[in-house]
Amino acid sequence: MVSIGTPAQQFKVVLDTGSSNLWVPSHSCWSPACWVHSTFKSADSSTFAKNGTAFDIQYGSGGVSGIESGDNVDLGGLVVQGATFGEATTLSGVSFLAAQFDGILGLAFDTISVNHVEPIFYAMVRQKLIEDASFSFFLTKEAGQAGSELVIGGVDPAYAKSEFKYYDLAMENYWFINMTGLSIGDYNTQDNLHAIVDSGTSVIVGPKDIIAKMTAELPATLDCTKMDTYPDLTFTLGQDEYVLKPAEYILNVENTVCQLGLIGMELPPQLGNAFILGDSFMKTYYTHFDMANKRVGFALSA
């Protein structure tokens, strides 16, 4: 939940480490998705500052466009003064219509911020709202289960069952690190691998050709009752192995219906064979996004 303006207007947002901008639907939006979500009413805020610069953001599941505005933004009780955010006037894509969130708050680097807008986390650091320029995600094991937490300014040891191991960023755009190998069943590869740690993606995404070879290690039709017979999926970072059990990368949609949480997608070639480690990975490993030291850390989730 994020609050914008004075008095505060509340919005449900996706806390997304795969993007860098904050946007919420504008009260002047006429897209159907805006009709079923909370919208920002600039006239109701005494701290609103008009900007008017146009913005356009494209995601894998749709796009948003509108105008930039300025106001106070409250995340977890930390109030950023005069933050720049997007008021979306157009939302395209059916995913936004069905979404259980109003907007998106990006937590990646300013290098990929649309219009070079200062990300909210950067503003928190600049305004000295936190001493430790890092944050961490603890995700519950089941979708919709209460207890997931964003810790701003470090980690909470109660969420970790092991010591953190850290990996330096390969680039400062996404939370992008090198990966030294992956394996599932009899298939393994070490070919130019990288990982993007992305809280805004629910599953594991990778190059189409590699994903095809990975899925070939599994039956064409998954049987929920035979979950334990399927192979583990292992990602290697440095010399460290991070294992996902079948129940952690196969989605149990209903009691008898299972869906493979591995999706093939062509990412920009400059990213190499990049995998997106989404929520199915982060549910298993408590993740520390350390901007101050330009690294990502993982510990086994409690």
Amino acid identity of 8?
A
CA distances from 118 to 68, 87, 178 (A): 12, 15, 26
Residues 6+ apart with CB under 8 A from 83: 22, 70, 71, 72, 73, 118, 120, 123
Residue 156 annotated among the catalytic residues of the structure: no
The end-to-end CA distance of the chain, in Å, is: 24
CATH of 2-126, one of 3.30.450.30, 2.20.25.90, 3.65.10.10, 2.40.70.10: 2.40.70.10
Helix, strand, coil content of the chain in percent (nearest 5): 20, 45, 35
According to CATH, where is 2.40.70.10 located in the chain? 2-126, 158-300
> Helix, strand or coil for residue 125?
helix
Q: Residue range 39-47: average pLDDT?
A: 98
Q: Return all residues near 256 (Cβ < 8 A) that are at least 6 apart.
A: 224
**Is there a catalytic annotation at residue 198?**
yes
Indicate which residue of 16, 102, 279, 290 is catalytic.
16
User: Count of alpha carbons within 13 Å of 135, Cβ hemisphere only?
Assistant: 22
pLDDT band at residue 81 under the 50/70/90 scheme: very high
pLDDT of residue 43: 97
Residues with Cβ within 8 Å of residue 186, at least 6 apart in sequence: 217
Query: CA of 7: how far to CAs of 1, 37, 47, 202, in Å?
Result: 15, 19, 9, 33
Pair of tokens at residue 75: 């995340």
In the predicted model, is pLDDT for residue 273 greater than 70?
yes
Tally of CA atoms within 13 A in the half-sphere of 57 that contains its CB: 29
Give percent above pLDDT 90 in the chain: 84
Name the CATH topology of 158-300. Cathepsin D, subunit A; domain 1 (2.40.70)
Q: How far apart are CA 148 and CA 199, in angstroms?
A: 12
Find the catalytic residue in 102, 198, 279, 290.
198
Measured CA distances, 113 to 107, 120, 172, 197, 257 (Å) = 10, 11, 12, 17, 39
Please report the pLDDT score of residue 258 as a whole number.
87
* Residue 255 clears pLDDT 70, i.e. is over it: no
pLDDT in tens, 217-247: 999 889 888 889 999 999 999 999 999 999 9
Q: What is the pLDDT of residue 145?
A: 75
* Residue 209 pLDDT exceeds 80: yes
pLDDT band at 268 (very low <50, low <70, confident <90, very high): confident
